[in-house]
Copies of this chain bind each other. A is one copy, B any other.
Amino acid sequence: MKQNYQVPAFLTKLWTLVDDSCTNELVCWSEEGCSFIVLDEQRFSKEVLPLYYKHCNMTSFIRQLNMYGFHKVVPLDSGLLKEDGRGDSVEFQHEHFRKDQPHLLTLIHRKVSVSRGVDDAGQISQILVEISQARGWQDSFDFKLMALCRDNESLWRELNSLQQKHQQQHRIICKIMQFIINTVGSKGMKGLKRKLPMIEISGETHSVPKYSRPSDSSVDSNLPSFSMPETPSPQDIPSAV
């Protein structure tokens, strides 16, 4: 038995068996035609089901109903014993399962197992895309970081070189001072002698730079503390007017 459209066999068979007036005492439409009622589960499962499906189990039938989104209709007087002889009946309903409107069956869709199936493939491929993107960012990041490291490396070298030049210059200034004090001062320049002592001359205490780069301790931020000898301010030198 084949179905014409995209409607699964279960649905067309269901509509057919509910609509079949020959089995109305076992299964039928509700009064409004918006649901169907199985009047006698026992006889229905043994006599009707095997005519349409490959089994005669009410549970398997209900499993399929749930797979297609049908719901059991809970009567208002549930829990009470019925007196109309329909105590064994169950009613099922689906928005698009209607008497006289079999074309609505195309709107009923079987549930796909949510955790697997089509959904997974999409999710996984999306995750893979995102991971690959992240790896790209990481790489460009790596590149920038390495560039920054090289930059820093050069900066430290320049700073070190400058530092040494500064030390040297300081020593020279000290020697000049010494020279002026010793040579010029001894020739009788009293005024100059008074003004120079505040210039620090002990340049040799700085011959070993207090600052040297930490021996490549990766990228820690233990910065060496500079303590450059203070050079006298220009005001300490006699104006050369």
* Residues of A bordering B, CB below 8 Å: 54-55, 115-117, 120-121, 123-124, 127-128, 130-131, 134-135, 137-138, 141-142, 144-145, 147-152, 154-156, 158-159, 161-163, 165-166, 168-173, 175-184, 187, 189, 192, 218-221, 223, 226, 228, 231-234, 237-241
Contacts and interface: CB of A to CB of B under 8 A. Distances in A.
A142 B137 CA distance: 11
Given A124-B124, A162-B162, A165-B231, A147 B179 contact: no
B178 A176 contact: no
A147 B183 contact: no
Given A141-B141, A151-B152, A172-B234, A165 B228 contact: yes
Contact of A223 (B155, B172, B234): B155
A125 B173 CA distance: 70
Closest 9 pairs between A and B when the two form their complex, measured CB to CB: A178-B240, A54-B54, A179-B240, A175-B237, A150-B221, A154-B223, A147-B219, A151-B221, A169-B231
Contacts of A173: 169, 172-173, 176
A155 B221 CA distance: 10
Given A151-B152, A221-B151, A172 B124 contact: no
B166 A162 contact: yes
19 contacts: A124-B127, A130-B131, A138-B141, A141-B141, A145-B145, A147-B219, A148-B148, A151-B152, A151-B220, A158-B159, A162-B163, A169-B173, A172-B234, A172-B237, A173-B176, A175-B234, A175-B240, A176-B177, A179-B240
Nearest to A233: B168
Nearest to A214: B151
Contact of A155 (B115, B134, B156): B156
A151 B219 contact: yes
A99 B74 CA distance: 54
A191 to B, nearest CB: 9
B158 A226 contact: yes
A168 B221 contact: no
A131 B128 CA distance: 10
A221 B121 CA distance: 44
A5 to B, nearest CB: 23
Contacts of A120: 116, 120, 124
